[in-house]
Amino acid sequence: MDSKSKYHYQFGAVVKITLRDGEVTQEEKEFLAHLSKTLGITEEEYDHVMQNYLTYPLEPTNTYDERLESLYTLT
């Protein structure tokens, strides 16, 4: 996969958190599918992230403004 959407890594982090228990409910699948469309994640990227979610780092934001921007982007 050569090109990545603008929010590829953020989506990967959300998937990692969502699947942390090793199980995914239908509601979680629907949420992730909706979020991927909202963020412009391609189907290829979605499949790649779902198969490799453990490789995505969870990087905290450093400032209040960055946290607000991330929250705004994901909602």
What's residue 5's pLDDT?
Answer: 79
User: Residue 67 — pLDDT band, cuts 50, 70, 90?
Assistant: confident
62 in any annotated domain: yes
Model pTM score: 0.77
Question: 1 vs 72, which has greater pLDDT?
Answer: 72
* pLDDT surpasses 70 at 36: yes
1 in any annotated domain: no
28 in any annotated domain: yes
42 in any annotated domain: yes
2 in any annotated domain: no
CA atoms within 13 A on the CB side of 20: 6
3 in any annotated domain: no
What's residue 1's pLDDT?
Answer: 57
Angle formed at CA 46 by CA 60 and CA 23, multiple of 5 degrees: 75
**The domain containing residue 46 runs over which residues?**
8-74
Number of domains in the chain: 1
* pLDDT surpasses 70 at 64: yes
